[in-house]
Amino acid sequence: MQSLKISEIVINWYKKNFRILPWRPKNIDQKIDPYIVFLSEFMLQQTTVKTVVPYFINFLKKYPTIEILAKAKLDDVLAIWSGLGYYRRANNLYKSTKIITNELNGVIPNNYEDLIKLPGIGDYTAAAICAIAFDKKVVVIDGNIERVVSRLFELDLRGNDLKKKVRKILSLNIPAKENSLFTQGLMDIGATICKPKIINCERCPLSENCRVAFKNSAINYPLKIIKEKKIKRTGNFYCLINSKKEILFLRNINLGLFENMHVLPSDGWLKDNHNLDFNIFSIKERFDCGVIKHSFTHFDLDSKVILLKVDDNQIKLKDNCIFIKLENLDMFSIPTLYHKIVKLVLKNI
């Protein structure tokens, strides 16, 4: 197989068949805005395109430039991100835009070495921004690309061994120009044709070059990695409600999971518990609302939810505490987990 044949096929196919996505130019020849790629790649980390699209559209409307985003309040950024998950991305996106605006004259770096120094940018994100936004000759490997290449060359490898082999193959096939189109083309082939459980070889531009094309064995690639079973954590969440039907939230300032977001008091499930001194409250009633289940990347959560009706007269709250009205919850940076908890609690009021 000639070294550039794959790239030529993919690029030609992509120019005619590229997916319309809100972070892509509508015209293949239109100039790409690096900020739009930068933002989309943060949002797409560990999240599907379908999930990201509405959040991206809303986010870009509010923060159309990196300068506007850098000047925004972190609370507002986290609030509009709420529901998308993996909230550390939002904190890192905000930190990175601050650095770019204040230290780099508002110019997003166009090279891997400088990009990877920014908060929240790892190997994949740095490579994707370089290739897509700046057309740099950099290898990009996401799940779609890895699947396409593993089938194309029938690679009987797993994990890091597979990734190393895919990287080597792609490095030999990167085009001298239009690597942005090549990278996105491979992504689109994987997303629309060479899917994990559905293979449409008759539609694939690479089928003549593929070693498993039209074979039942194609679906077995890439070879599966045996995943470790997630651990289960347990604990308690406390929902304090006052006479005005306001719920007490804590601002989780610079603490790991849900950094800088508004959370309910809890204990038992995190190293950094979201603790609260209950002695300052006069608790009138207590209800056990049941159990909340929630899945994180590395563990599953199975915890009790406890409703505490409190008398809030003359209570002096700490700076990180705030009572929020039910109708105003969407105005604050509250993770999906806590919206689920509040929904459970409201059934018991």
Which is the catalytic residue, given 8, 41, 285, 327?
41
CA distance 240 to 286: 9
Angle ∠(319,323,326) on CA atoms, nearest 5: 150
Mean pLDDT of the chain: 93
Residue 146 CB neighbour total at 10 angstroms: 21
What is the set of domains in the chain, with CATH numbers?
Answer: 5-220 (1.10.340.30), 231-346 (3.90.79.10)
pLDDT at 5: 85
> Taking the model in full, what pTM does it have?
0.86
Range of lowest pLDDT (8-17, 118-127, 266-275, 297-306):
266-275
Residue 41 falls in the annotated catalytic set: yes
**Cα four-point dihedral sign 144, 145, 146, 152:** positive
pLDDT of 255-267, one tens digit each?
Answer: 778 888 999 999 9
pLDDT confidence tier of residue 347, bands split at 50, 70 and 90: confident
Q: What is the pLDDT of residues 182-197, one digit of tens each?
A: 999 999 999 999 999 9
